[in-house]
Amino acid sequence: MKFIADRMLGKLSKQLRMLGYDTLYYRGEDAHQMIQLARQEGRVILTRNTKLIPKRPNDRIIRVMEDNPLLQLRELIQKGCISLNEENPFSRCLLCNVLIDEIPREEAEGKVPDFIFYMQKTFYKCPQCGRIYWQGTHQWNMQKRVAELRLAESREHRA
Ligand SMILES: [Zn+2]
């Protein structure tokens, strides 16, 4: 599942990338162009715009109702668009949306804080912007969020 998110959904885009989903963040205001891009690349449109109507049967448009990015993520899970059990979480650059590559550990030396270098075994690099990632970069943050979501779900099941 690949997505294109409208300009209201920048934070949601980053969260989807954290989970490994290919997500294009469309900053423009031209809804027609966004639909064209979605068609060309086979993406599902995520939008806050309630007036956006599919023009062809193949256009997939999901209206995001929640305001809060974490609740938006949960909304997508509940709608069955994404799952928390994806195979490749933490595999994508949060800024560029491209897959990051594992690099030899020495390559990260001096480019990340020393204590990170000594603590971490594996580093990754974005081939586009050169940003270096390691397990802790977004994993900790995201695991916390995923745990919060699971907790909220279990509470709802009990209620
Ligand atoms: Zn990048």
The pLDDT tens digits of the residues spanning 5-53 come to 999 999 999 989 988 899 999 999 999 999 999 999 999 999 999 888 8
pLDDT band per the 50, 70, 90 thresholds, residue 157: low
pLDDT band per the 50, 70, 90 thresholds, residue 56: confident
The pLDDT tens digits of the residues spanning 93-139 come to 989 999 999 999 999 999 998 988 998 889 999 999 999 988 766 56
Ligand 1: distance of its center to the CA of 27 in Å? 17
Ligand 1: distance of its center to the CA of 79 in Å? 29
Residue 37's pLDDT is 95
Ligand 1: distance of its center to the CA of 54 in Å? 32
Strands 23-25 and 3-5, bridge-based pairing = parallel
Residue 54's pLDDT is 84
Sequence-distant (≥ 6) Cβ neighbours of residue 99 within 8 angstroms: 91, 92, 93, 127
Ligand 1: distance of its center to the CA of 84 in Å? 23
Ligand 1: distance of its center to the CA of 94 in Å? 7
Tell me if the pTM is above 0.75.
Answer: yes
Ligand 1: distance of its center to the CA of 92 in Å? 8
Ligand 1: distance of its center to the CA of 128 in Å? 5
Residue position matching structure tokens 């999901």: 62
Sequence-distant (≥ 6) Cβ neighbours of residue 67 within 8 angstroms: none
